[in-house]
Amino acid sequence: MNYNLKHFAQSGIFAFWASVTMVATLFATYFLIEPAISHGDESVDITVRAQITDETSFLVPPANVTMAGTLNGVTGGQATGTTQFVVQTNNTAGYYVTIDFFDNGSAEAMQGDTSLSDAIHDYQGYTIGQPTYGYVASTSAQFAYTVTASSTSDLDQSFLNNGAACNLGGLQNGAVSCWMAPSTTAFRIMDTSAAAVTGATSTVTFNLTVPSGATPVPQAEWYTATVTLSVIAK
C-alpha cells in the first residue's frame, strides 16, 4: 500500500514537471516565432505620378499682312500694316517670341514679286543690332518693323525705351518708338517671365517708306517679305 502511494506521488510529481516543461517550451516557442508572426502584417508605401506637359503655343496665330497706304514710285509715300498674335502658356517661367525673315537669296528681305527687284532696302537706321528710337529716314525705300504688347513687361528690352533711346528704360510709347531692320537671324521680340493661361497679346507693325526720288527707283509691282514668328517656352 505504501509502495503504491509512493509510486503514485512520484508519477504525479513527474507529470507536474512534464507539464511545466511543456508549457515553458510552448511559451519559449511563441516568443521565438512571434516577431515573424507580427511581420505578417506589413505596410508598403507606393507613389502615384502623373506628368503635366508644357503647353506653349499661339492661341491666336499671326496673320498675313497687306500694307495700307499710298506708295508712289517717284514722289514717294508710306504704307503700314500690322499683325497681332496671342500666346498661351502654362509655363510659369514664361516664353520667348522671335522673328526672322526668309533668306530669299538677295540682300533685302522685301523683294519684287515679278522682277525680284531689291529696290526696297532693309531699314538702315538701326545701330549695333538694336532698334532705333524714332524712324530714321533714308534716300532709299526702307522696310522696318516694331513691336508692342498688351503688357510692357512682356516685351523684350530691345523694344523698350527711356524716351530718347531704345534698349533702355521701361517705356513702350506705342508703335512709333523703336524700329528694327529685318534679319534672317532670329531676333527676340518678346521675353516674359510668367504663365499666360488666358493669353498675352502682342502686335508687330511693319513700315515701308519710299522717299521722293528714291534711289534706286522702286518698280511698279507687288513686293513681298516672308516673316517667321516663333514662340519658345523657357
Count of alpha carbons within 13 angstroms of residue 185, beta-carbon side: 4
- The predicted model scores a pTM of 0.80
Q: Confirm whether 40 is domain-assigned.
A: no
Q: Confirm whether 183 is domain-assigned.
A: yes
pLDDT the model gives residue 178: 95
Nine-digit cell string for 37 = 508572426
Domain that holds residue 176: 56-233
- Amino acid making up residue 45: D
Q: Confirm whether 34 is domain-assigned.
A: no
Q: How many CB atoms lie within 10 A of CB 102?
A: 14
pLDDT at 5 over 90: no
**Number of structural domains found in the chain:** 1
User: What would the pLDDT profile of 55-65 be if each residue is shown by its tens digit?
Assistant: 999 999 999 99
Q: In 3-state terms, what secondary structure has residue 226?
A: coil
User: What would the pLDDT profile of 80-95 be if each residue is shown by its tens digit?
Assistant: 999 999 999 999 999 9
Phi, psi of 207 (to 5 degrees): -135, 130
Q: What is the mean pLDDT of the chain?
A: 89
Q: Confirm whether 16 is domain-assigned.
A: no
Q: pLDDT tier at 127 (50, 70, 90 boundaries)?
A: confident
Q: Confirm whether 164 is domain-assigned.
A: yes
- Amino acid making up residue 216: P
Q: Confirm whether 199 is domain-assigned.
A: yes
**Could you tell me the CATH number of the domain that includes residue 170?**
2.60.40
Q: Confirm whether 195 is domain-assigned.
A: yes
